[in-house]
Structure 1
Amino acid sequence: MTTMATPLTQPAAPGVSEPDIRRHELANFLRSRRERITPEQVGLVRGRRRRTPGLRREEVAQLSAVGVTWYTWLEQARDIQVSPQVLDALARALLLDRSERSHLFSLAAAVDPAPGTDCPHVTPALRTMLRQLEPIPACVQNSRYDILAHNRTYGRLLCDLEEVAPEDRNLMLLAHTNEQWRGSVMDTAEVTRYITAKFRAEMAEHLAEPAWKELLGRLEAASGEFRENWARHEVVGAGSRSKVFRNAWVGLLRVEATDLWLGPSAGPRLVSYAPRDGETYERLARLQELVRASEG
Structure 2
Amino acid sequence: MSTQPDRRRQLSAFLRSRRERLTPDEVGLPRTGRRRTPGLRREELALLAGISATWYTYLEQGRNIRASEQVLTALASALRLDRHERDHLLSLAGHSPAAEAGAHDLLTAEVSAVPLLLQPNPAYIIGGNYDVLSHNRAAAELFPRLITEEERPANFVRWVFLEPAAREVLVDWEPEARGVLGRLRTLAANHSGDPRYTRLIEELHEGSAEMREWWPQYEVQVRRSGRKRLRHPRQGTVEYVYTAFHLAEQPEQTLVVYLPGSEPDEEGTSPRGSAAVCSCGGGRRD
Q: CA deviation at 1:253?
A: 2.1
Does residue 230 in structure 1 map to residue 215 in structure 2? yes
Conservation of the 8 A alpha-carbon contact between 2:246 and 2:255: yes
Tell me which residue corresponds to 1:261.
Answer: 246
Q: Which amino acid aligns with 2:211?
A: F
Alignment of 1:257-296 (within 5 A): 257-263=242-248, 267-277=252-262
The one-character-per-residue Cα deviations of 1:31-83 (angstroms, maximum 9, x if unpaired) are: xxxxxxxxxxxxxxxxxxxxxxxxxxxxxxxxxxxxxxxxxxxxxxxxxxxxx
- Runs of 4 or more above 4 Å deviation: none
How far apart are residue 5 of structure 1 and its match?
A: 3.7
Unaligned runs of 5+ in 1: 7-95, 102-118, 284-296
CA contact (8 A) 1:158 1:245 kept: no
Give the direction of change, closer, same or farther, for the CA distance of 1:193–1:129 in structure 2 (3 Å limit). same
Q: Normalised by the size of structure 2, how large is the TM-score?
A: 0.54
Q: Deviations over 1:217-255 (max 9, x none)?
A: 111111110111111101111111011101233312221
User: Cα gap change, 1:131/1:264 in structure 2, threshold over 3 Å: closer, same or farther?
Assistant: closer
1:140 equivalent in alignment to 2:94: no
Is the Cα contact below 8 Å between 1:4 and 1:207 reproduced in 2? no
Asked if the contact 2:159/2:166 (under 8 Å) is kept, the reply is yes
Q: Alignment partner for residue 194 of structure 1, among 179, 182, 186?
A: 179
Q: Aligned pair in 2 of structure 1 residues 196, 185: CA closer, same or farther (>3 Å)? A: same
Shift of 1:164: 5.3
Letter in 1 for 2:132: I
Q: Which residue of 2 aligns with 1:128?
A: 113
Aligned twin of 1:88: none
Contact 1:4/1:208 (<8 A) preserved = no
| TM-aligned CA distance change 1:152 to 1:3, over 3 Å | farther
How far 1:204 sits from its partner (Å)? 1.1
Give the Å deviation of 1:160. 3.5
Unpaired stretches in structure 2, ≥5 consecutive residues: 8-99, 269-286
Note the C-alpha offset of 1:257: 1.1
Contact kept, 8 Å, 1:140 with 1:148, in 2: the verdict is yes
RMSD after superposition: 2.8
Matched, 1:251 2:231: no
**Distance in structure 1 (CA, Å) of the matches to 2:146 and 2:123:** 13
Say which SS state the counterpart of residue 259 (structure 2) adopts: strand
- Equivalent residue letter for 2:186: A
Classify the secondary structure of the residue corresponding to 2:152: helix
> Structure 2 CA distance, aligned partners of 1:3 and 1:194?
27
- Give the letter aligned to residue 183 of structure 1: E
Aligned length: 172
Mapped to 2, the partners of 1:176 and 1:164 lie a distance apart of 19
Equivalent-residue separation in structure 1 for 2:160 and 2:181 (angstroms): 10
Identity of aligned residues (%): 24
- Change in 2 beyond 3 A, CA 1:163/1:209: closer
